[in-house]
A and B are shown apart, each in its own frame.
Chain A
Amino acid sequence: MTQTLALFIDAYRELNARKMFWITLILSGVVVSTLLIIGVVDNPESTTSFDSQHIKVMFWETPIPLPLGMDLEDILKGTFVYLGIGVWLTWAAAILALISTAGIFPDFLSAGAIDLVLHKPIGRLRIFLTKYVGGLLFVALQVTVFSTAAFAIVGFRAGAWEPAFFLAIPLVVAFFSFLFCVSALVGTITRSAITSLLVTMLFWVLLFAFNTADEVLSMPRVTNEIYVEKLDEKLIELRNADDANSKIRVPVVEKQLVEATESRDLWRKWHSLIYGIKTVLPKTGETISLLERQLIEKADLPDTTNNNNNKNLPSISSKMAAVGVRTADVIVRMEDIYLNRTVTWILGTSFIFEAFVLSLACWVFCRRDY
């Protein structure tokens, strides 16, 4: 216990000595302060109820009207979710955190430093894991400070004390740990902070690429699936019909069905491949979506994620439209795919990945001669 505590205190001191920790904390403060300066102002000249209220930044009224059905509380909570978590914690701050934690293992393992710790009466495994958890301290402290500040500001300003804000602490730390384990592994093997940072960043880009591929491929897959279903229905309908006209169209539709089935299977194959690869990789993007969904639900926010998705509408050919493939159906079914990915799948497979990478790092750490 004495030893573990000492290692944690040391981890804190190490962070404390890094300028980056304080820079990140100050930037966090800047981001949180947007919650202080955003406000709502009544517009007395307005005649309609639409723009009776405007968003205000400090003393300046912006021409942006308050979206319908929203009040100050929603605006503040929305800012926390989309700016605070979506942009700051999971992009900018995460990059700063990766940069400043990339050196932890290489420094720890450098000649002359590691000897001082290894010869103490603690097992190597325990040293490694404690050091790892200590490395997560950076993000844990940042998120805790950030969420608590946001919780307090929204509470005081809008009177809404939203405990769901604190959900950000475990989920953002989990999100970061999926990347940090890679940093720890590469740092342990190469003992180079730069290499470890670069590889981790590349890995993150890779995850991002797979995520995008998953999204991109799900659309033609779903579209073709619906198309095949509709053609099936159509064929049954035509075969059951008695008129000559229908009889003539049967072979045409049959041919269409064969083609559509082929193309559906092709898209399915590719999408399943990407899905399979994604299964073994950590789900950083989905972990954050999970957090956002939870916050939106718990905090009673109007869900704007759908609007974002509408940017890339599925392209439906006239042939598909002719048999009744509708954009709305495609969107609903695509969303279902994501909603059907359970918390267990998202977090479970990610933690399995983390455990695997950590075991590898531990194995290297415990077997090495220093």
Chain B
Amino acid sequence: MTSDNGKYAIDLHEVDKVYKGKVHALCSIEMKVHHGEIFGLLGPNGAGKSTLVKIMMTVVRPTKAKGTMLGQPIGHKPTLARVGYLPEHHRFPNYLTGRQTLEFFAALAKVDRPTRKKRAASLLELVGMSEWGNKKISSYSKGMMQRVGIAQALMNDPDLIVLDEPTDGVDPVGRRDIRDVLIKMKDQGKTVFLNSHLLSELEMVCDRVAILVQGKVATQGTIDDLTADSQRYEIVIDGQEPSWVNEFGDLRAESRANHQTVLILGSTDAGKVQPIIDRLRSTQTTIHSIKPVRESLEDLFMRAVTDPATGKAYQPGAASTKRKKKRAGEGS
């Protein structure tokens, strides 16, 4: 099965989408997702994350798209039998029960009847909805819908799972449960593609991320790689900036409140810290803390969405409505 899956689980080239009404939602997207990893796609509202996912799921027709998914060209319908998808703001028919919903959508994915029955039961268990399985969807809360939605995406035992904002409207416990499910899927060798604007979440589970801004990939890679440049040591001391700071290369000082100063060493080499400690101790300076620091995903994200020319966040998406601007503002 894996032999015909291609080198990458998802390998996109030159994906372009112009919606009717001239919204240029995606612009020459290049993106690679490896087999068996959890991949996170970040971006402010309206960046085009959902559009990209919908193009892969054949829900939206691309203006232009090259590349493959599970070894088959984008838009190849039969491949979708091996893909699970949870759309953003999904709405299940409210006349069905949770179990019927799972079985119905599995049938559409060509899963045979006995398998459907068996999987529906085990997946309801997995997402913690066993007790609700026989109740109507109309009685579910947002978080429950999300759980059933994830179960729905797993009903065809997919090789690739694509989730658009899976933790949207889910409480912290639910979020942890969902994370656990994702990690379990990864352990089973499945590839997970995740869309989210909740950064801390992605940071915890993702192997690699891409940041999408205004329809363009701003940056992509492993979180380690992307934040490597920003790795440093921070030493917090009492008193003023020592006069000898300039004697060390890579070292700079920033004063803080409470008469404290932070010395920042632009390196993660522990050896380089030792002479500085010796120097500080020799001048009887009190050292409060020494810690290696790296940029968080949020810093990375903010750097990507900030226009270097103006120092302000890019206007969200191709279209810019007031509402979206405000929402993007909240994220910062």
> Hey, which bits of chain A sit against chain B, CB under 8 A?
2-3, 5-7, 9-10, 13-14, 16-17, 110-123, 367, 369-370
Given A7-B108, A121-B110, A122-B108, A369 and B20 touching (CB < 8 A)?
yes
CB contacts under 8 Å to A, within B53-85, are 54, 57-61, 77-81, 83, 85
A121 contacts B109, CB within 8 Å?
yes
Q: Return A125 CB to nearest CB of chain B, in Å.
A: 11
Sample of 6 more A-B contacts, CB < 8 Å, known A113-B92, A119-B57, A119-B85: A2-B111, A6-B107, A116-B87, A120-B108, A121-B109, A121-B110
Question: Contacts of B104 on A, CB cut-off 8 Å?
Answer: 6, 9-10
Some 12 contacts from A to B, beta carbons below 8 A apart, are A2-B111, A5-B107, A6-B104, A6-B108, A10-B93, A113-B92, A115-B57, A115-B87, A118-B58, A119-B80, A120-B108, A369-B61
Q: Is B95 an interface residue (CB 8 A)?
A: yes
Question: Contacts of B140 on A, CB cut-off 8 Å?
Answer: none
Q: Is B89 an interface residue (CB 8 A)?
A: yes
> Hey, which bits of chain B sit against chain A, CB under 8 A?
19-20, 54, 57-61, 77-81, 83, 85, 87-93, 95-96, 100, 104-105, 107-113, 152
Q: Which residue of B lies closest to A112 (CB)?
A: B91
C-alpha gap A37/B285 in the complex (Å): 108
Q: Which of B20, B89, B113 contacts A111 (CB 8 A)?
A: B89
Given A10-B93, A14-B93, A17-B95, A120 and B88 touching (CB < 8 A)?
no
Q: Which residue of A lies closest to B20 (CB)?
A: A369
Question: Contacts of B81 on A, CB cut-off 8 Å?
Answer: 120-121
Q: Return B18 CB to nearest CB of chain A, in Å.
A: 10
Question: Contacts of A114 on B, CB cut-off 8 Å?
Answer: 59
B59 contacts A112, CB within 8 Å?
no
Q: Return A184 CB to nearest CB of chain B, in Å.
A: 18
Q: Which residue of B lies closest to A13 (CB)?
A: B95
Question: Contacts of B90 on A, CB cut-off 8 Å?
Answer: 112-113, 115-116
Question: Contacts of B19 on A, CB cut-off 8 Å?
Answer: 369
Q: Which of A5, A9, A13, A120 contacts B80 (CB 8 A)?
A: A120
C-alpha gap A62/B86 in the complex (Å): 66
Question: Contacts of B113 on A, CB cut-off 8 Å?
Answer: 2
Question: Contacts of B109 on A, CB cut-off 8 Å?
Answer: 120-121
Q: Return B15 CB to nearest CB of chain A, in Å.
A: 14
B95 contacts A112, CB within 8 Å?
no
C-alpha gap A9/B105 in the complex (Å): 12
Question: Contacts of A112 on B, CB cut-off 8 Å?
Answer: 87-91
C-alpha gap A40/B245 in the complex (Å): 116
B54 contacts A116, CB within 8 Å?
no
Q: Which residue of B lies closest to A2 (CB)?
A: B107
C-alpha gap A357/B92 in the complex (Å): 29
B110 contacts A3, CB within 8 Å?
yes
Q: Which residue of B lies closest to A3 (CB)?
A: B108
C-alpha gap A3/B112 in the complex (Å): 10
Q: Which residue of A lies closest to B138 (CB)?
A: A17
A116 contacts B105, CB within 8 Å?
yes
Given A3-B110, A14-B93, A17-B95, A120 and B105 touching (CB < 8 A)?
yes
Residue from A6, A14, A111, A120 having most chain B Cβ neighbours under 10 A: A120
C-alpha gap A118/B92 in the complex (Å): 13
Q: Which of A6, A9, A113, A118 contacts B91 (CB 8 A)?
A: A113
Question: Contacts of B92 on A, CB cut-off 8 Å?
Answer: 113, 116
Q: Return B117 CB to nearest CB of chain A, in Å.
A: 13
C-alpha gap A344/B81 in the complex (Å): 43
Q: Which of B20, B54, B108 contacts A117 (CB 8 A)?
A: B108
Q: Return B113 CB to nearest CB of chain A, in Å.
A: 8
Question: Contacts of A2 on B, CB cut-off 8 Å?
Answer: 107, 110-113
C-alpha gap A337/B81 in the complex (Å): 56
Question: Contacts of B79 on A, CB cut-off 8 Å?
Answer: 121
B88 contacts A119, CB within 8 Å?
no
Q: Return A35 CB to nearest CB of chain B, in Å.
A: 33
Question: Contacts of A111 on B, CB cut-off 8 Å?
Answer: 89, 91
Question: Contacts of A122 on B, CB cut-off 8 Å?
Answer: 77, 108
Question: Contacts of B112 on A, CB cut-off 8 Å?
Answer: 2
Q: Return A260 CB to nearest CB of chain B, in Å.
A: 58
